[in-house]
């Protein structure tokens, strides 16, 4: 036993020696600062920060009872000259310690100042988020060093009792001065009231009846005395409950009031016996706003289950109670007013005094939208938002990805500007109009800010609008089970597809069927994350589904109530170095119909596919999507209008025009000009039917596109056919007998002769069968008097040859 005591004493001696050695070798702290021993509670600003500060010596301080909701990884202890915005933002870290835990709950710790920091440099000690330039809470240090001065902070109480998971009562008791201070704290919306009070000791049931209950909420009325609802003229004389303090932070309400333990108002107030167990009751509920019949706010029936919306318990206010462990964490911490942008209503942007800026500190002036201080602005993708900026020439509005604004490049930071800039400034007499259209690539949250001053604006929530608003065109695919959306740009196309019923995956493909198609499959994984993959399918088995590597951007896949929506952007023509890859042939030509099919199934995976991944429902036939026209049509063997186009072309090119040519060639021996009339009527009728056939095709296809070979050859044929009537119109008149031909006639006959000579060479010796080789090449084939003229000037130019067998 004796030896063991010696054994214990030796390690203790060594530890003390090592500690003393470390203290001597480290930072030397003096106690000469006038702030040593100073204590104060932190003033809560954000993140439900509470705690007590005590300065230990010249280079350290202690924090106890510390509560704080989690912030970013850059929350530090911060020093500043004053609480002025510019002084706070230009402050400095005073310790290397970071407050980056998930949350702090009644924590205690000591903090060491940096070696080059002294208390003389610090007038304000803040807990500061560097990333958001945000003050979570602070303590103002006395500048004259006059002892232990404590700020008047109303957020720290001597006692605290949990009434429910989101409702607490805090109190301070002063029996000598005959008062009790009650702080009601609840993580509830601003439209809720908080009720707390004492039951009549003489009642054992229906405790609310004849109880002395205080109802606290945030309204415009202030404090209402007990008899206000009786319309008593002397009501203000008996108001013994006094409002002390109230705030709303991070979705949590705190209202503090003081009431006497023994009141002179015997009608409405019950005595509070500090040393006795008394029944208290509480409730949470909605406030009913005033109306035309009632000029005051009125608490509604709380409803709800017991111990959630209401309850009661026995409480002795003189006993020390502190079972409030950690800060309240509200589900919705955003209390700023919400403005939902409307296309028809412009958003008027002005400036005004800062009252409740959501991310303190802030400059003295902040942005107001429609007379609301720094509201949350909610916009819908694809819907134009109109701003009327009249905040002055020194405030330029812009929409940015940076939460602070004020031109992030000046802080060596990066930002994406979605709209606005230095030119977007104006005054009331001459406002500047800015129209911003958030698209599908705009993040879910951006910020409206001033380009010249940080932290004047606040958040913009970008919600997904209807796909029809975000895309220029949409059609229903086969069986009307899938809607196909698209927007064309110069070199790319943005596509979306949405099913109409629940499924495990949604696939769309380009092709006549699933076989030999390019497929895009979207599904939700086991972790809830959306996926989208591309494939080339060359068969009906899982092994025939080959992943491809297409250059997709802005990919999204989400599920709403089991209905899948997929979105992506792809180039019209893939940029491939190796043309042997299947995806290199997946070219989207906006001028030709895009054949689209779809399929849905129960499960998909990006790993090994099997029969379980086969579709459960699919399209029966492809739909031809006309990308430029913005419409679609089911694929058919031959569309009726195009069939009419084909028949008209056959009639013109196969019957009428050849008939006119044959009439001019073989009917000249007929008396009169009948051959000429037949020739003219058939040629012009054929040309007219050709033009009508073209108009039918253009009307059916909603456009005139020359990308296909068929159209190019057709244009060439029509051009050659149009030369004939032009030739007839431009042909100079034939001179009368004995007259010389004009120069124009000679030129025309020359080219006409060369044309016939070339044709004769192509026809070869067959000429002697069809015509006399000595016939004048310049004969006017289209002249109605040609035949009779030739009779008078020439002998018969037709030689009939009888061919007989050699061996009859």
End-to-end CA distance of the chain: 155
Which H or E element spans position 377?
A: strand 376-380
Q: Which fold has domain 338-463?
A: Immunoglobulin-like (2.60.40)
Q: Which fold has domain 472-634?
A: Immunoglobulin-like (2.60.40)
pLDDT averaged per 10 residues in sequence order, the chain, 808 residues? 34 36 52 88 93 94 94 92 92 94 90 94 95 93 60 77 95 94 93 93 84 86 60 56 89 93 85 94 89 78 86 94 91 85 92 92 94 94 94 96 93 94 96 93 93 95 86 90 93 94 94 92 92 93 91 91 93 82 91 93 87 86 91 66 84 88 81 82 89 84 72 85 77 74 76 55 40 38 43 45 47
| Peptide bond before residue 361 is cis, with ω within 30 degrees of 0 | yes
Distant-in-sequence, close-in-space partners of 559: CB < 8 Å, separation ≥ 6: 524, 530, 565
What is the spatial distance between Cα 368 and Cα 276, in angstroms, rounded to a whole number? 52
CA quadruple 401, 405, 406, 409: dihedral sign = negative
pTM of the complete model: 0.62
Q: What is the DSSP string of 233-278?
A: TTGGGG---EEEEEEEETTEEEEEEEEESS-S-TTTPPP--TTS-E
Residue 274 has a pLDDT of: 93
Closest C-alpha to 282, from 200, 196, 341: 196
CB of 674 within 8 A of CB of 787? no
What is the spatial distance between Cα 608 and Cα 186, in angstroms, rounded to a whole number? 52
Q: Which strands make up the sheet holding 445-450, listed edge to edge?
A: 338-340, 376-380, 459-463, 445-450, 397-400, 417-420
In 424-580, DSSP assigns E strands to: 432-436, 445-450, 459-463, 473-476, 482-488, 492-499, 505-510, 517-524, 530-537, 545-547, 553-560, 563-571
Which H or E element spans position 709?
A: helix 709-730
DSSP assignment letter at 593: P
Residue 754 has a pLDDT of: 57
Residue 635 has a pLDDT of: 61
CB of 180 within 8 A of CB of 241? no
What is the spatial distance between Cα 280 and Cα 262, in angstroms, rounded to a whole number? 16
Beta bridge pairs of residue 732:
none
Closest C-alpha to 447, from 359, 554, 350: 359
CB of 128 within 8 A of CB of 49? no
CB of 111 within 8 A of CB of 77? yes
Residue 259 has a pLDDT of: 92
What is the spatial distance between Cα 26 and Cα 32, in angstroms, rounded to a whole number? 18
Residue 740 CB neighbour total at 10 angstroms: 8
Is CATH 2.60.40.1210 correct for 159-315?
A: yes
Structure tokens at 337: 């007013």
Structure tokens at 237: 């004389």
In tens, the pLDDT along 438-490 reads: 988 899 999 999 999 999 999 999 988 788 888 989 999 988 899 999 999 98
DSSP assignment letter at 591: T
Residue 576 has a pLDDT of: 82
Q: Where in the chain is the domain with CATH 2.60.40.1210?
A: 159-315, 472-634
What is the spatial distance between Cα 303 and Cα 289, in angstroms, rounded to a whole number? 18
Tell me, rounded to whole angstroms, the distance of Cα 4 from its chain centroid. Answer: 72
Distant-in-sequence, close-in-space partners of 457: CB < 8 Å, separation ≥ 6: 366, 367, 374, 397, 405, 447, 448, 449, 450
Distances (CA, A) of 269 to 201, 230, 261: 13, 16, 9
CB of 529 within 8 A of CB of 625? no
What is the spatial distance between Cα 800 and Cα 604, in angstroms, rounded to a whole number? 83
Closest C-alpha to 517, from 625, 576, 612, 598: 598
Q: Where in the chain is the domain with CATH 2.60.40.420?
A: 338-463
Helix (H, G, I), strand (E, B) or coil at 326: coil
Chain position carrying tokens 């602005």: 377
Residue 229 has a pLDDT of: 52
Distant-in-sequence, close-in-space partners of 67: CB < 8 Å, separation ≥ 6: 48, 49, 50, 51, 104, 105, 106, 107, 326, 327
Q: State phi, psi for 8 to the nearest 5 degrees.
A: -75, -35
What is the spatial distance between Cα 76 and Cα 98, in angstroms, rounded to a whole number? 5
Distant-in-sequence, close-in-space partners of 519: CB < 8 Å, separation ≥ 6: 507, 508, 509, 534, 535, 536, 537, 545
Residue 16 has a pLDDT of: 39
Residue 134 CB neighbour total at 10 angstroms: 26
């Amino acid at each position: 036993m004796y030896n063991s005591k010696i054994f214990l004493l030796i390690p203790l001696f060594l530890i003390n020696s090592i500690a003393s050695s470390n203290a001597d070798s480290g930072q030397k702290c003096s106690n000469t600062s006038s702030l040593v021993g100073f204590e104060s509670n932190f003033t809560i600003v954000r993140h439900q920060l509470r705690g007590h500060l005590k300065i230990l010596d010249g280079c350290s301080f202690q924090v106890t009872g510390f509560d704080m909701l989690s912030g970013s990884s850059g929350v530090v202890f911060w020093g500043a000259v004053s609480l002025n915005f510019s002084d706070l933002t230009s402050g400095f870290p005073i310790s290397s310690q970071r407050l980056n835990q998930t949350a702090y709950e009644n924590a205690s710790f000591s903090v060491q100042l940096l070696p080059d920091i002294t208390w003389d440099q610090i007038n304000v000690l803040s807990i500061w988020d560097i990333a958001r330039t945000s003050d979570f809470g602070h303590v103002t240090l006395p500048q004259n060093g006059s002892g232990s001065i404590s700020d008047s902070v109303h957020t720290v109480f001597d006692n605290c009792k949990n009434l429910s998971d989101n409702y607490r009562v805090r109190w301070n008791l002063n029996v000598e001065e005959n008062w009790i201070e009650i702080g009601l704290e609840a993580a509830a919306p601003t439209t809720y009231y908080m009720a707390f009070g004492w039951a009549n000791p003489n009642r054992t049931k229906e405790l609310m009846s004849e109880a002395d209950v205080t109802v606290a909420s945030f309204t415009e009325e202030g404090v209402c005395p007990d008899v206000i609802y009786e319309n008593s003229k002397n009501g203000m004389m008996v108001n013994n409950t006094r409002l002390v303090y109230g705030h709303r932070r991070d979705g949590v309400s705190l209202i503090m009031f003081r009431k006497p333990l023994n009141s002179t108002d015997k009608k409405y107030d019950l005595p509070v016996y500090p040393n006795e167990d008394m029944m208290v009751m509480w409730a949470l509920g909605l406030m009913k706003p005033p109306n035309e019949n009632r000029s005051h706010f009125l608490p509604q029936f709380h409803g709800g289950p017991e111990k959630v919306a209401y309850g009661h318990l026995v409480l002795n206010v003189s006993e020390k109670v502190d079972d409030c462990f950690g800060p309240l964490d509200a589900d919705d911490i955003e209390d700023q007013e919400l403005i939902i942008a409307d296309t028809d209503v412009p958003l008027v942007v002005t400036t005004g005094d800062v009252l409740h800026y959501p991310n303190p500190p802030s400059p003295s002036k902040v942005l107001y939208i429609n007379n609301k201080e720094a509201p949350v602005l909610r916009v819908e993708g694809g819907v134009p938002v109109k701003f009327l900026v009249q905040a002055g020439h020194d405030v330029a509005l812009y929409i940015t990805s940076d939460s602070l604004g004020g031109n992030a490049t000046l802080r060596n930071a990066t930002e994406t500007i979605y709209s606005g800039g230095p030119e977007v400034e104006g005054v009331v007499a001459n406002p500047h109009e800015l129209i911003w259209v958030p698209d599908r690539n705009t993040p879910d949250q951006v910020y409206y800010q001033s380009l010249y001053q940080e932290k004047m604006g606040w958040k913009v929530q970008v919600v997904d609008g209807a796909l029809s608003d975000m895309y220029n065109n949409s059609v229903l695919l086969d069986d009307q089970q899938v809607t196909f959306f698209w927007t064309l740009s110069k070199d790319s196309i943005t596509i979306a597809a949405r099913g109409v019923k629940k499924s495990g995956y949604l696939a769309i493909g380009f092709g006549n069927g699933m076989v030999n198609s390019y497929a895009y499959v979207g599904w939700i994984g086991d972790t809830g994350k959306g996926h989208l993959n591309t494939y080339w399918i060359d068969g009906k088995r899982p092994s025939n589904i080959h992943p491809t590597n297409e250059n997709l951007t802005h990919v999204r896949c989400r599920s709403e109530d089991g209905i899948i929506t997929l979105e992506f952007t792809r180039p019209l023509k893939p940029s491939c170095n190796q043309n042997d890859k299947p995806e290199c042939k997946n070219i989207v030509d906006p001028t030709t119909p895009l054949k689209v099919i779809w399929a849905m199934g129960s499960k998909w995976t990006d790993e090994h596919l099997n029969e379980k991944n086969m579709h459960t429902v699919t399209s029966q036939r492809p739909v031809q999507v006309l990308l430029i026209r913005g419409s679609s049509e089911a694929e058919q063997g031959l569309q009726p209008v195009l069939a009419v186009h084909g028949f008209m072309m056959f009639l013109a090119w196969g019957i009428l025009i050849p008939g006119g040519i044959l009439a001019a060639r073989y009917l000249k021996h007929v008396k009169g000009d009948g051959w000429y009339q037949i020739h003219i009527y058939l040629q012009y009728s054929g040309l007219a039917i050709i033009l009508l056939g073209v108009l039918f095709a253009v009307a059916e296809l909603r456009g005139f596109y020359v990308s296909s070979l068929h159209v190019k050859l057709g244009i060439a044929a029509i051009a050659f056919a149009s030369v004939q009537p032009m030739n007839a119109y431009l042909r100079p008149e034939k001179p009368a007998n004995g007259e010389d031909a004009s120069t124009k006639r000679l030129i025309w006959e020359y080219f006409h002769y060369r044309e016939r000579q070339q044709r004769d060479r192509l026809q070869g010796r067959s000429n002697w069968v069809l015509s006399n080789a000595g016939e004048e090449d310049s004969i006017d084939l289209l002249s109605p008097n040609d035949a009779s003229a030739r009779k008078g000037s020439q002998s018969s130019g037709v030689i009939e040859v009888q061919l007989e067998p050699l061996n009859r």
